Amino acid sequence: MSRRERSPSTPSSPREAKRQKLEAPLTSEDYKNGIMLAPMVRSGALPTRLFALKYGASLVWGPEIVDKAILHAERVVDPVTGVVNYNGKSRAIWSTHPIEKPYLIYQIGSADPELAVKAAKTVMNDVSGIDLNCGCPKPFSTSGGMGAALLTTPDLLCSILTALRSAMPPEISVSAKIRLLPTQEDTLKLVERIIDTGVSALTVHCRTRNMRKTEKATIERLREVVEFVEKMGKGVAVIENGDCLGYEDAKRVREITGAHSVMIATAAEANPSCFSPTPLVDVHRTLIPSYLRVSRYLGNHWANSKFCGIQFRGNHVQNTRADEKEFKDKFAKAKGYDHMDDVAGDWSQGKAEFEEICGIIEAR
């Protein structure tokens, strides 16, 4: 992936004053030869994205945010940490930090071209790409005609992408994430229409709308899709999503599918260091304490940090399953960061650990 740099802007913190660089826009090439963090509701929070970048994720997708939700949010920058919060009535609807901007894709849930454009314009100064969710099968998305419902309304789907590409400046990439349709013929017809809207990348979740993550992804169907896209000659990247377990497994997935890159969801939800050739083991000792310290420093809402932390798991070397159960029981009972003092240790380390993450990301 090419080196990415941020555009000059008014510094939001003392640290930001040291980062005045020219931005290199995302292109189709930036979506190739990488391993990406998938958009995940709740699990794809700012701390998780930062840890994924720390351990090698090429790009990171934020969780799907419905278009109308972000339109009424108030953008507030924390003067100490630099965190950018888009606040709703009671808490942040979405949060980001300038350090992740060169690698950050904002995913929109929408069934309306005009609203999608308004939502994209609201956040475009804080992201490098806009992605349209065309694959979520959950009722909160499909009931409004969004997500996987768009697969059955291709005219609407493509009109949203066309509107986004027309409205966004060239330095903001536009992409889409879909699921496979029941037949390969229908899938290819839809893919052709999407590619013609001018997207830079297309992510294909290798399950149909009615399949769930407990069912094996049909990744072998993707090779024909990739070859079809390449024959169109527009250089669009095709990203595989479904059943990739991490850095090493991505090699297997790309060999089977021919995909330009691989996107990870479930494995990253369990261990955001899965993007590394040597992912962390004994995560209750090696990952979670640091994750909590950084989350608290950045002001991440406790309920979200708790949700994410409970999902973390990995191979055991020194820890036992009994240790893991005891830890999760404690996590489940905790009602705030202060209830995890004996796990997190010295909370003041959070700032230094965040600075370390920034340094690793900047070193790219």
Task: List the structure tokens of 35.
Answer: 């391993």
In terms of residues, how long is the chain? 364
Residue in the structure block whose two tokens are 């930090």: 97
Give the Cβ contact number of residue 337 at 10 Å.
18
Write the CB contacts of 224 (distance below 8 Å, at least 6 apart in sequence).
184, 188
3-class state of residue 87 by DSSP: strand
For residue 262, CA distances in Å to 15, 64, 130, 225 come to 33, 19, 18, 14
Task: List the structure tokens of 51.
Answer: 């840890």
Write the CB contacts of 354 (distance below 8 Å, at least 6 apart in sequence).
50, 81, 294, 297, 298
For residue 358, indicate whether it is catalytic: no
| DSSP E strands, 164-209 | 173-179, 201-205
Catalytic residue among 136, 206, 274, 308: 136
| DSSP E strands, the chain | 35-37, 60-61, 65-66, 74-77, 84-87, 92-96, 104-109, 129-134, 173-179, 201-205, 237-241, 261-264
Catalytic residues: 136
